[in-house]
C-alpha cells in the first residue's frame, strides 16, 4: 500500500525525521510507538501532506491503480481522495460550519473523484445513521459546528466517524486513544476494528500500549529520534509496556 | 419583487410607524442604476414604534447597472423604539464599487426595548457608517452585529457611540471584517456609561481577517465609564486564514478552493446566524455568497 524509504523531513528548519523506512502492505495493521518528540505525529502529517512539514530527502510511494506513485507531489485533498486518511491527534474546531455540511462536502468530493454518485442531504443522513450508532454518537452532533465544544472523546469519535464515511485505504490514526476514558476507548477501538478489512491498511500512532489491548497490530515499530529503531510483532508492545523505551535506546 | 417580504422601493424619504407585529420582514430597497452618475442622494428613514411590537426591517442599497459609476449616497436613519418593542434591523450596503456611501444610524430605546442591528457593508469604494445608540430606558438592550469586507482600494469605516443612559441597560458590539488587497478598515466603538446607569453591561469584540500583506485594519475601543457596578468588556483580533483549519478540510478531500469558501462562510456565519428572521437571513446570505469566489482567487497558495 505504501513504501516509505529513507524519509527525512523538517518543520521550521528542525529535522524531525532522519531516515524512516517503512512498508505497509494491504490488509496490515501497524502500530508506531515511541517516546514524546520521536517524530510519530510528524510521520503521519507528512504522509497526509501537512504544508508545514518539508520533505528533505527520501521518498513516499503510494499504491494507486496498481502503480506506486510519488505521494509527495499530490495536494492533501488529492491524497484524501485517493484513500489516505489522517485521524488528528488534536482535531481542529471550525465554528460556523456544521458537522453535516463538512461531512457531506468531504464525502461528495471523494465520491466525485472516485466516480461514485454524490449524495443529497436526506440520503446522506440515512447513510450516516448506522455509523453514528456504531460510535454511540447522537444525531445532534451533525447540527453542531465541526468539533465545536466537543469533549476530547467526542472529537476522537468524530474523527472515526469521518473515517467511516470516507472508507479510506490507508488510515493513519494519530494518538486516537489520548483523551479517551475507558468506555470511549472501547467504542472507538470497536469502530476501528469494524472498519478494518483485508483491503485496507491501518497505522496506529500511539504512546501507550493501552489501545493495543483492543486493536491487535500485526507489526509494532519503535520510532526514536526520527528513525525506526526496532520492529516486531505485538509482543514488542507488551515488552515496551513492561520495560519502557530505555533498553532500546541505550 | 419578493413575495416573502413587504416591499418598499424609493429614492427619497420614508417615514413610518410600526403599530403591529410584522410577520414578514419589511424590505426597503434603494436602487441606483447605470444612469446614476455624479449625483448625490439623501435617502432618509424615520421609524417609530408603538410599545411592545416586534418587527424585522431590512434597509438595503443596491446598484442594478451593468456599468459601475460614481455617485454618493448619504443616508440617515432614525429609529425610536417604544417601551418593550423589539426590532431586528438589517442594513445591507451593496452599492457599486465606484460609489461613496456615507450613513448615519440613530437609535433611541426606551424602557425594555430591544434593538438587534446588523450593519453589513459589501460595496462602495468608500463607506462610512456612523451609529449612535441611546439606551434611554431601564433594561433597554442594543446589540450590533456587524460585518464588512473590502478588496482593492475599498475603505470601510464604522464608528459607534453606545450611550448607556439608564440602569441595567445592555449592549453588545460584535464586528467581523474580511479585508484583502489594499483594503483598509477602521472601527471605533465607544461605550459611554452614565452616572446613573448602574448595573449596565457592555461588551465589544472586533475580529478582522486580513488576506494580504497590504490590507489593514484599525480597531479602537473607547470606554467612558461614570458609574460603579457595571460590566464592560472589549477585545480585538487581527488574523489570517488558519492554515490548520485549511489543512484539516483539505485532508478530508475538500479542494483548497472549496475549503476556503467554507472558511469564509464560517467566519461570517457567526454574525449572520444572529439574524432571527429566516427570510432576512437568506437575503443577507445571498448578498454575501457572490463575494466568496472573488476572494478565493486572492488567497496565496501556501500548500506544497
C-alpha grid cell, residue B273:
446566524
Query: Do residues B99 and B73 make contact, with C-beta atoms less than 8 angstroms apart?
Result: yes
* pLDDT one-digit tens code per residue, A155-166: 999 999 999 999
**What is the Cα–Cα distance from A199 to A152, expressed in whole angstroms?**
30
Q: What is the bridge-based pairing of β-strands A84-87 and A170-174?
A: parallel
Nearest-by-CA chain A residue for B268 = A96
* pLDDT one-digit tens code per residue, A85-108: 999 999 999 988 999 999 999 999
* pLDDT one-digit tens code per residue, B121-166: 999 999 999 999 999 999 999 999 999 999 999 999 999 999 999 9
At residue B195 the predicted structure's pLDDT band, cuts being 50, 70 and 90, is: very high
Q: How many CB pairs under 8 A join A and B?
A: 87
Which of B239, B249, B253 to probe by mutation at the A interface, max A CB count within 10 Å? B253
Give me the mean pLDDT over the A181-193 stretch. 90
| pLDDT, greater one: A101 or A210 | A101
How far does the CA of residue B250 sit from the closest CA of chain A (Å)? 4
Asked whether residue A60 carries a pLDDT value surpassing 80, the answer given is: yes
**Per-domain residue ranges of chain A:** 2-249
| pLDDT, greater one: B300 or A73 | A73
C-alpha grid cell, residue A67:
502503480
Residues 6+ away with beta carbon under 8 Å from A109: A77, A81, B252, B253, B254, B255, B258
Predicted model pTM: 0.81
List CB contacts (< 8 A) between B270 and chain A: 95-96
Question: Looking at the partner chain, which of A51, A81, A106 has a beta carbon nearest the beta carbon of B247?
Answer: A51
Instruction: Give Dmax over CA atoms of chain A in angstroms.
Output: 58
Nearest-by-CA chain B residue for A113 = B253
Question: Looking at the partner chain, which of A75, A88, A97 has a beta carbon nearest the beta carbon of B262?
Answer: A97
- Judge residue A36's burial from the number of C-beta atoms within 10 Å of its C-beta, 0-12 exposed, 13-18 middle, 19 or more buried: exposed
Q: What is the dihedral of CA B58, B60, B66, B68, to 10 degrees?
A: -160
Domain A2-249 fold is: Rossmann fold (3.40.50)
Query: Do residues B209 and B246 make contact, with C-beta atoms less than 8 angstroms apart?
Result: no
**Residue matched to cell numbers 472601527:** B187
Average of per-residue pLDDT values in chain B: 91
Residues 6+ away with beta carbon under 8 Å from B26: B5, B6, B8, B55, B56, B57, B58
Query: Do residues A84 and A170 make contact, with C-beta atoms less than 8 angstroms apart?
Result: yes
List CB contacts (< 8 A) between A49 and chain B: 247, 250-251, 303
Residues 6+ away with beta carbon under 8 Å from B96: B32, B63, B65, B68, B69, B123, B124
Query: Do residues A67 and A13 make contact, with C-beta atoms less than 8 angstroms apart?
Result: no
How far does the CA of residue B119 sit from the closest CA of chain A (Å)? 19
Identify which of A113, A116, A2 has the alpha carbon closest to the alpha carbon of residue A61.
A2
* Rg of chain B, C-alpha, whole Å: 19
Nearest-by-CA chain A residue for B270 = A96
Identify which of A84, A80, A91 has the alpha carbon closest to the alpha carbon of residue A178.
A91
C-alpha grid cell, residue B146:
456587524
Average of per-residue pLDDT values in chain A: 93
Asked whether residue B19 carries a pLDDT value surpassing 90, the answer given is: yes
| pLDDT, greater one: B5 or A96 | A96
| pLDDT, greater one: B214 or B34 | B214
Amino acid at each position: 500500500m505504501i513504501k516509505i524509504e529513507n524519509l527525512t523531513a523538517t518543520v521550521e528548519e528542525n529535522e524531525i525525521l532522519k531516515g524512516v523506512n517503512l512498508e505497509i502492505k494491504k490488509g496490515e495493521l501497524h502500530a508506531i510507538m515511541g517516546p514524546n518528540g520521536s517524530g510519530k505525529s510528524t510521520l503521519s502529517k507528512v504522509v497526509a501532506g501537512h504544508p508545514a512539514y518539508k520533505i528533505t530527502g527520501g521518498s513516499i510511494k503510494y499504491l494507486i491503480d496498481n502503480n506506486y506513485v510519488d505521494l509527495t507531489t499530490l495536494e492533501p485533498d488529492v491524497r484524501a481522495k485517493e484513500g489516505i486518511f489522517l485521524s488528528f491527534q488534536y482535531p481542529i474546531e471550525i465554528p460556523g460550519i456544521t458537522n453535516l455540511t463538512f461531512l457531506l462536502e468531504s464525502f461528495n468530493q471523494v465520491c466525485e473523484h472516485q466516480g461514485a454518485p454524490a449524495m443529497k442531504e436526506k440520503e446522506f443522513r440515512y447513510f450516516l445513521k448506522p455509523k453514528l450508532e456504531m460510535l454511540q454518537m447522537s444525531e445532534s452532533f451533525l447540527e453542531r459546528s465541526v468539533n465545536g465544544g466537543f469533549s476530547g472523546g467526542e472529537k476522537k469519535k468524530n474523527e472515526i466517524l469521518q473515517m467511516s464515511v470516507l472508507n479510506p485505504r490507508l488510515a493513519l490514526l494519530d494518538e486516537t486513544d489520548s483523551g479517551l476514558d475507558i468506555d470511549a476507548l472501547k467504542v472507538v477501538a470497536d469502530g476501528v476494528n469494524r472498519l478494518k478489512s483485508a483491503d485496507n491498511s491501518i497505522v496506529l500512532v500511539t504512546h501507550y500500549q493501552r489501545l493495543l489491548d483492543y486493536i491487535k497490530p500485526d507489526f509494532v515499530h519503535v520510532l526514536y529520534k526520527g528513525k525506526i529503531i526496532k520492529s516486531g510483532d505485538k509482543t514488542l508492545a507488551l515488552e515496551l509496556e513492561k520495560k519502557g523505551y530505555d533498553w532500546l535506546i541505550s | 419583487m419578493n413575495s416573502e417580504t413587504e416591499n418598499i422601493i424609493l429614492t427619497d424619504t420614508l417615514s413610518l410607524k410600526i403599530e403591529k407585529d410584522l410577520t414578514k420582514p419589511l424590505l426597503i430597497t434603494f436602487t441606483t442604476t447605470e444612469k446614476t452618475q455624479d449625483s448625490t442622494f439623501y435617502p432618509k428613514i424615520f421609524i417609530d414604534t408603538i410599545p411592545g411590537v416586534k418587527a424585522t426591517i431590512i434597509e438595503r442599497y443596491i446598484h442594478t447597472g451593468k456599468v459601475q459609476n460614481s455617485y454618493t449616497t448619504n443616508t440617515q436613519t432614525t429609529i425610536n423604539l417604544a417601551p418593550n418593542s423589539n426590532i431586528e434591523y438589517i442594513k445591507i450596503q451593496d452599492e457599486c464599487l465606484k460609489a461613496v456611501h456615507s450613513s448615519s444610524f440613530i437609535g433611541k430605546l426606551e424602557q425594555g426595548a430591544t434593538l438587534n442591528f446588523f450593519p453589513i457593508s459589501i460595496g462602495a469604494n468608500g463607506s462610512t457608517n456612523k451609529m449612535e445608540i441611546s439606551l434611554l430606558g431601564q433594561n433597554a438592550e442594543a446589540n450590533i452585529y456587524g460585518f464588512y469586507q473590502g478588496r482593492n482600494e475599498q475603505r470601510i469605516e464604522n464608528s459607534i457611540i453606545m450611550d448607556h443612559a439608564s440602569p441595567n441597560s445592555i449592549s453588545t458590539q460584535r464586528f467581523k471584517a474580511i479585508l484583502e488587497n489594499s483594503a483598509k478598515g477602521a472601527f471605533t466603538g465607544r461605550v459611554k456609561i452614565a452616572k446613573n446607569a448602574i448595573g449596565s453591561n457592555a461588551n465589544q469584540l472586533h475580529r478582522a481577517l486580513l488576506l494580504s500583506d497590504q490590507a489593514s485594519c484599525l480597531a479602537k475601543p473607547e470606554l467612558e465609564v461614570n458609574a460603579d457596578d457595571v460590566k464592560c468588556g472589549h477585545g480585538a483580533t487581527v488574523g489570517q486564514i488558519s492554515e490548520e483549519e485549511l489543512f484539516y478540510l483539505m485532508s478530508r478531500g475538500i479542494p483548497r478552493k472549496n475549503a476556503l469558501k467554507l472558511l469564509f462562510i464560517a467566519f461570517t456565519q457567526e454574525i449572520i446566524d444572529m439574524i432571527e428572521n429566516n427570510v432576512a437571513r437568506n437575503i443577507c446570505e445571498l448578498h454575501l455568497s457572490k463575494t466568496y469566489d472573488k476572494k478565493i482567487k486572492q488567497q496565496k497558495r501556501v500548500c506544497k
